[in-house]
Structure 1
Amino acid sequence: MPLLMVIMFGMGTSMNIKYFLQISKMPKRVLIGLVGQFLTMPFISFSLATAAALPPEIPSGIILVG
């Protein structure tokens, strides 16, 4: 888990204003990405964890990382 935190921090600190200006030019793609990130991926991870009959702690971790 600490490695994941370091990776996410590194990705966040490498962004600059140029990235945000590019994002503002394509709102439809951003919306598609948000839907995928917050609806599709957690649903797929929940479905896979449920199908594998894992203990309750494991699916919650999979959903949060996904």
Structure 2
Amino acid sequence: MDLKNTEKLMNRIPNDRVVVSESGIKGVEDLKYLKELGVDAVLIGETFMRAQSISEKINEFKAV
């Protein structure tokens, strides 16, 4: 649930692997942070389930 875990693990992942961050992504700032780290993909669940409008939340994230 801590995005810092992704940062800590990045040095241990070979460059030829796809890096997926899977937990704790709550907003656009989190996506920007992960993008800067070089993360290739994210898995977002709870944030979408708690959103008033899932489609609006998806559109918000697509801007990143």
Q: TM-score normalised to the size of structure 2?
A: 0.28
Which structure has more strand as a fraction of its residues?
Answer: 2
Highest Rg: 1 or 2? 1
Higher RCO (CA-CA < 8 Å; seq separation 6+): 2
Q: Hey, which of these two has a bigger chunk of helix by percent? A: 1
